[in-house]
Structure 1
Amino acid sequence: MNFRQFAFKNVFRNKRLYAGYFFSCAFSVMIFFVYSMLAFHPELDFSGKGGYGQGAQTSMDVSQYIIYFFTFFFILYSMSVFLKSRKKEFGICIMQGMSDLQLRRLVFLENVIIGLASTVSGIAIGLLLSKGMLIMGSTVLTLEQPLSFYLPTKAALFTFVAFALLFIFISLFTAVILRSSSLIDLLKGTAKPKPEPKASTFLALLAAFLILAGYVIAFVVRGAMVIIALLPVALIVSIGTYFLFTQLSVYMINKLKKNQKLYRSKTNLITLSDLAYRMKDNARMFFLVAIISTVAFCAIGTLVGMKSMFTAKITESVPAFKYESYAGNPQEAEHSKLIEQELTEAKINYEPLVIQKKRLEDAETKKSYSIISETNYNKITKEEIQLTDGEALLFYPDNMGFGGQPVGQEKQISLQDGRTLDIKENTVLPIALQQVEFSRTAIVSDAVFQSLSESLTESTSYVFHVEDWRQTLNVSKQLNEKLQGNGEHYSFFSRAYDLNDINQGFGQILLTGLFIGAVFFVAAGSFLYFRLYADLDHDRAQFRSITKLGLTEGELSKIVSTQIGLLFFVPIIVALIHGAVALNSLQNTFNANLVKESALVLGSFTIIQILYFLFIRANYVKKLKEVM
């Protein structure tokens, strides 16, 4: 048996250790390949479809490199944990006469074998799942026609070359890791430190204070202040999270151990005795998992929330159809007739509304207002207001807390002829009025409206209300094409068309967020998997000894379930709380209700984690029971 055969057989002899590393790598390759398959799909090039399309295409291209960049560090970390679990094996090889050069060559060959196998496997699995992924992509992107299946040769070649180079580089890099380890370090393997973990009371209290302070700031700030406070809060909470796992957790466990009644109850003595060591040993890994999971939650939650907010805003403020004609438009009558004709031919029932508007500049403040008569206002809002010639209602767009010019403070409007109008009401634009005008708007009596001089800034809004507006996309596209988008003297808007544009752009961005979030979450799960199985030999020896003292299988299952449950759920619960606070800040930023979207995202990740825990727990308990 030559050296290459030895390396090849070594991979297959110890399937348990190699399997976790292999599947993590294969899954990362599969995620990257599926994403590349969608990125290179000939029907998903939105770069020439307006601002949203160009932005979405750029984000998709950039995200591909982000996924690859993060995957590199994920696989590098996985490799370091994988090598750490094999230190004792390497030490025995050196004792048998293997040189450092041969050991590095062995590890290099093993990594190349696993890397190439996982690359080919990841691409193959991606191909098998490609049809389902294309359907999922069509759903997320809300495409009118499902994405057609194609042979992703470019994506497969790109993925293979990218990951082949990645695994070769990582395999070479591991030589540096091994060279720094002495024989005695290798033979000690993953043995745990003997001294009992200690915790600083000051740092434990500091952890609680920092996290609480970060949460309070996140809940208090509103509007533009959320953006300003983002980095400081993230830094404060991150430091607090690190001390939470390294200090506060150990501090609390030690306090629990001092409660003799609790400590000596049932199997708590075994559970709590080992728990402090596990928390201390895994503190950095817990911190890493918590932060990575928080990033995944926030990335996906923010994208889902933003898409929901923009969709809701367009649905509220953009009418089914709106034709805005400016002063001097020679095609006004022709275009309004064309819209009515197209809607009639498509058998779409509509309710037309024609609103005349004028522009006015305040003689003193120089602020500009859009002026609508009280009669037209009553048509729009279905109200019955009556204004005197000296009164006005003033409405302004909601700046969502982002500042800008002070609004809601005007008391009077000064006309150019010296007259003044007292503002009777000063508030945010109502939804019905937003469908006609979205700038600062004043409502005046019919007499005042008629007395205002005509100007080139006058306009007329032709609004068409349609009950079943979701079925108007085809008509909207036809009208948009015939009216050639926006002309010099007019503008055309359609709710279905604008929503479709938003869905295409945000759909692509959401798709990238889902894949990046999936990579992050898989990375977090793999960290937990490697950490758990790195302790398997130690746990086997420990429980074999305790079993001789009378530990039953039921008690073993209870202890292991508690320990694995803490390993899996403590960092995830922390991440869920961090994510919920972050998504609440997003709500505060835009004054929107994102409870449904936040619950959907966080709930989905929680369910996945529970299923992952149940699967790993069943297999781990089975491995431990083999020694009883």
Structure 2
Amino acid sequence: MTFKQFALRNVQRNLSSYLAFFMASTISVMVFFIFSVAYFHPDMNLSKDSGHLTVILTAILPYQYGCSLVFILYSLGTFLHRRWGEFGVLRLLGITDRQFIKLMFFENILIGLISIISGILLGLLFSKYFFFVISMIFQFPLGFSLSAFPIVLTFIAFISLFMLVSILSPFFVRSQNIYFLLTKSRKQNRQPKAPLLKAVCGIGIILFLYGLLLNALRNPDGLDDLLLAKMVTYLEYDNILAVFIILTIITYLIFSHASTLGVTLLKRNLRFYFHRTNLLWISSLAHQAKQNARNLFISTLLITISIAITASLYTSYLYTAEGIIKDFVGPISYVSYPQDKQLKENINYIDTYLKKNGYEYKKVQIPVLALSKIEDHTGQRPAIALISNSHFNQLARFLGRETISLEGNNSLVLVWKGYGTKMDPLDEIEYQEMVLGGRKINVIEVTYKPFLNFGALIYYVISDSLYHQVKTNYPTYTFVEYQIPNWTRLGDFSAQITERFNYNEGPRQVHTAANYFQSDLIHNKTYFFLGSFISMVFFIAAISFLYFRLFADIQGEREKYHNLTKIGLKRREIKRIITGQLAIFFFSPFAIASIHTYMVLILWNHENAESAPFDKILQVIIIFGVIQILYFIWIRSKYIRTIFHYLDQGKS
């Protein structure tokens, strides 16, 4: 037998262990290849909106490649750990460092080549469907086209990756002596010691952190009040990062402290512990707790990221219209400057079109007094305007909001932060020191609810008597707001009136939501489509980690069940024990990840809770859950077959 044949036999003999590593590597290659084919497609620039896709692919390709590198290194490290006994025997028989490096190089390159070829072939198979979906998103024909460059790029990128892994992998083993390699593989796992005080403290921290998050869920500003969120914001990161950090700590404590304490309490419940076969699966969980904790922790984080990304992008896509209208208040907003002499004519033009084309609509028209020019966007101070109490109530009834009653100098302040900015206009003025008609205004409330997200940044709602007293001192602007149920179909008309009324910066301005709807919808579709691919890579990595952990101790498990059958354990009981252990092992990370995903999305959208509806998040969780169940069924069947095959060999 030649040295290359020996390396080939090693791969064949460890085929079951290599299978998850091979499948995950193949899928990583496939996704990279499909993205490469799309990126270098000659017709990709035919649509003006496809440039956005090109930018996303430019960012995704190196990111996905980096994730593949980390995953392959981790997977290989786990696999090598399982083979330490085999490597110890080879070192004992006198294999040299050069031969060992050569052996590892052949094995990894062989698996790598097969993965690359399989990934490219699967990529060729699914590229057609990928381009079909892109054509539907961007509304232009994009047929299948393949050049040699994506194939060469994918092959070079991943063969380099596997060569790097092949060079690094021997160093994980060469640094260990023969005794360590031989004894470590046979070393029995011991149940980790979990002092009661340490476990209770861990659970106390878990409850405390969950309490902080639940308080943030109930309080709209609760997330901003968290000390960790303030620190993250100070470092110019989104405060949702604080939620991920807290949930990461909770996840770690659940598997390192709470689970260990739970198993200990089960063992102390003697009636339950000695009931039927409970002793076997509880003892197994106890002895593998330390090894399982790390893998379950990593898998839970990856599953959380996968579901959260997919659910967030899915809801953003479904609620594109709601997200746009939130910024616009109404689908058509018209502001007439004091010098505008065609207000009635222009409004009649809009009304005529809507009636003629069968659109149901309602509108409201209110005047406001501007303390500074609303049309001047170059000023150092934010534009300020006045609204009378009666006109505000008219607008509130139009929007379905509560009306108010103001008397004397009392005032309600409406604040609009403007598009794409987090700056608070109130920080730039002494809004409590406002004086009108020689009378100091008494601000009784400040609201950031959208009433007029247009024109001025700050509106003072004042009593009718005060409004009429100062009316002649300031220019009057007129706002017209429309409500149109099926406004998303107004794309062409919106572009038409925008061009008609906004030309040459005339004495009026119109904002239409439909102008932004189609482009935002395409962007959200693109993010959802490509984000789902990336999420599936994370999800496959998560369940692959579970696979590696499960089969890492398969030899010891086979011997254990072989010995138990000698004292009368039946096969149906073995199936029941294995099913229970695997169910806990596979579905506990998924259950925790699902809860954490919902909390992340609700807190992420705490200012717009309707963008994270429970039913839509549940749909995504169910889809991932079905995949997890199918994977569980396959792994359970494979694991039981492996155990029973060993038992049958023992009988013969």
Q: Same fold (TM over 0.5)?
A: yes
The answer to whether the 8 A contact 1:257-1:272 is kept is: yes
Q: Deviation per CA, 1:556-610, whole angstroms, max 9, x where unpaired?
A: 1110011111221223333333333323322435555624243333333333222
Check whether the contact 2:306–2:535 (CA below 8 A) recurs between aligned residues: yes
- Greater RCO between the two (CA within 8 Å, min separation 6)? 1
Q: Does 1:371 align with 2:381?
A: no
Q: Find the counterpart in structure 1 of residue 84 from structure 2.
A: 87
Q: Write the letter of the residue equivalent to 2:540.
A: V
2:49 and 2:138 in contact (8 A); partners too: no
Mark the CA change 1:179 to 1:379 in structure 2 (over 3 Å): closer, same or farther. Answer: closer
Equivalent position to 2:589, from 571, 580, 597 = 571
Query: Which of 429, 442, 445 does residue 461 from structure 2 map onto?
Result: 442
Deviations 1:219-277 (A, max 9, x none): 22425335427556654553453343234322321232122211110001111121111
Equivalent positions of 1:192-271 (< 5 A) are: 192-193=187-188, 195-221=190-216, 222=222, 224-225=224-225, 227-228=229-230, 234-235=244-245, 237-271=247-281
Superposition deviation, residue 292 in structure 1 = 2.4
Matching residue of 1:358: 369
Instruction: Say yes or no: does 1:321 pair with 2:319.
Output: no
Displacement, 1:511?
Answer: 3.9
CA distance in 1, matches of 2:13, 2:135: 43
How far residue 619 of structure 1 moved from its aligned partner, in angstroms, is 1.7
Q: Are the counterparts in 2 of residues 199 and 248 from structure 1 also a CA contact under 8 Å?
A: no
Q: Give SS of 2:335's match.
A: strand
Contact 2:417 2:425 (C-alpha < 8 Å) held by counterparts: no
2:98 to 95, 101, 105: 101
CA contact (8 A) 1:356 1:461 kept: yes
Tell me, in whole angstroms, the C-alpha distance in 2 between the residues paired with 1:471 and 1:395: 34
Asked if the contact 1:217–1:233 (Cα under 8 Å) also holds between the matched residues in 2, the reply is no
1:334–1:606 distance in 2 versus 1, CA, 3 Å: same
- Name the aligned partner's letter for residue 265 of structure 2: K
Which is worse superposed, 68-77 or 618-627? Answer: 618-627
* C-alpha contact (below 8 Å) 2:416/2:453 kept by paired residues: no
Contact 2:413–2:461 under 8 Å retained in 1: yes
The answer to whether residue 626 in structure 2 is matched with residue 615 in structure 1 is: no
Whether the aligned pair in 1 keeps the contact of 2:384 and 2:458 (CA below 8 Å) is no
Q: Determine whether 1:24 maps to 2:24.
A: yes
Structure 1 residue 13: Cα displacement: 4.7
1:533 partnered with 2:554: no
Aligned-pair distance for 1:5? 4.3
Uncovered stretches (5+) of structure 1, i.e. residues with no partner: none
**Take 1:387 and 1:85, find their aligned partners in 2: how far apart are those partners?**
75
1:165 matched residue in structure 2:
160
Residue deviations 1:336-371 (CA, integer Å, cap 9, x gap): 67756776786756666655443137xxx9982243
Q: Could you say if the C-alpha distance between residues 385 and 535 of structure 1 is closer, same or farther in structure 2, counting changes exceeding 3 Å?
A: closer
1:297 is aligned to: 307
How big is the shift at 1:379? 7.3
CA distance in 2, matches of 1:486, 1:38: 41
Structure 2 partner of 1:131: 128
The 8 Å contact of residues 414 and 449 in structure 2, kept in 1 or not, is answered as no
> Using the alignment, how far apart are the partners of 2:413 and 2:47 within structure 1?
37
1:117 aligns to 2:108 (yes or no): no
Quick check: 1:360–1:369 contact (8 Å CA) kept in 2?
yes
Q: Which runs of 5+ in 2 are unaligned?
A: 217-221, 232-238, 373-380, 648-652
Q: Please give the alpha-carbon distance, in whole angstroms, between the structure 2 residues aligned to 1:310 and 1:130.
A: 27
Conserved 8 A contact 1:374-1:443: no
Q: Residues 374 and 446 of structure 1 are in contact (CA less than 8 Å); yes or no, is this contact kept in structure 2?
A: no
RMSD of aligned Cα (Å): 4.3
Structure 1-normalised TM-score?
0.83
* Alignment partner, residue 236 of structure 2: none
Q: List aligned pairs for 1:445-456, cutoff 5 A.
A: 445=464, 448=467, 452-453=471-472
Q: 1: distance between equivalents of 2:489 and 2:297?
A: 49
1:167, CA displacement in angstroms? 1.3
CA contact (8 A) 1:29 1:118 kept: yes
Change (3 A) 1:101 1:199: same
Normalised TM-score (structure 2): 0.80
Could you tell me which amino acid in structure 1 is paired with residue 597 of structure 2? G
Equivalent runs, 1:367-406 vs 2, <5 Å = 368-371=384-387, 374=390, 378=394, 381-382=397-398, 394=412, 396-397=414-415, 404=424
Residues 611 and 372 of structure 1, relative CA distance in 2, 3 Å threshold:
farther
**Counterpart contact for 2:387–2:467, Cα < 8 Å:** no
Larger mean Cα displacement after TM superposition, 530-539 or 460-469: 460-469
SS at match of 1:440: strand
Taking the aligned partners of 1:565 and 1:486, their CA distance within structure 2 comes to 68
Cα distance in 1, alignment partners of residues 61 and 513 from structure 2: 32
Q: Give the distance between the partners of 2:463 and 2:48, measured in 1 at CA.
A: 44
For the structure 1 residues 110 and 406, does the alpha-carbon distance in structure 2 shift closer, same or farther, using more than 3 Å as the test? same
Equivalent in the alignment of 1:562? 580
The answer on whether the counterparts of 1:300 and 1:601 sit within 8 Å (CA) in structure 2 is yes
* Distance in 1 (alpha carbons) for counterparts of 2:46 and 2:317: 17
> Aligned pair in 2 of structure 1 residues 343, 2: CA closer, same or farther (>3 Å)?
farther
Contact residue 367 and residue 478 of structure 2 kept, 8 A? yes
Does the 8 A contact of 1:387 with 1:445 survive in 2? no
Deviation at 1:617, TM superposition (A): 0.9
Q: Secondary structure at the match of 2:635?
A: helix
1:117 positional shift: 1.8
Q: Are 2:397 and 2:403, in contact at CA under 8 Å, matched by a contact in 1?
A: no
**Cα distance change of structure 1 residues 590 and 213 upon mapping to structure 2, 3 Å threshold:** farther
Bigger mean CA deviation after superposition, 580-589 or 480-489: 480-489
| Cα deviation digits, residues 159-196 of structure 1 (max 9, x gap) | 33222221111111112113213333444463342544
Q: Which amino acid aligns with 1:23?
A: M
In 2 relative to 1, CA 188–223 (structure 1 residues): closer, same or farther, beyond 3 Å?
A: closer
Distance 1:42 1:473, change over 3 A: farther
Q: Match for 1:63 among 60, 64, 69? A: 60
For residue 75 of structure 1, what is the aligned residue in structure 2? 72
The aligned length equals 616
| CA distance, structure 1, for counterparts of residue 592 and residue 5 of structure 2 | 46
Answer whether contact 2:73 2:165 (CA < 8 A) is retained: yes
- Whether the 8 Å contact between 1:210 and 1:237 is mirrored in structure 2 is no
Q: CA deviation at 1:17?
A: 2.3
Asked if 2 retains the 8 angstrom alpha-carbon contact of 1:486 and 1:492, the reply is no
Query: What residue in structure 1 maps to residue 571 of structure 2?
Result: 553
2:291, 2:184 → 1: CA distance? 14
Higher mean alpha-carbon deviation, 516-525 vs 38-47, is at: 38-47
1:523 paired residue number: 541
Q: 1:386 to 1:116 in 2, by over 3 A?
A: closer
**Alignment identity in percent?**
28
Deviates more, 1:68-77 or 1:254-263: 254-263
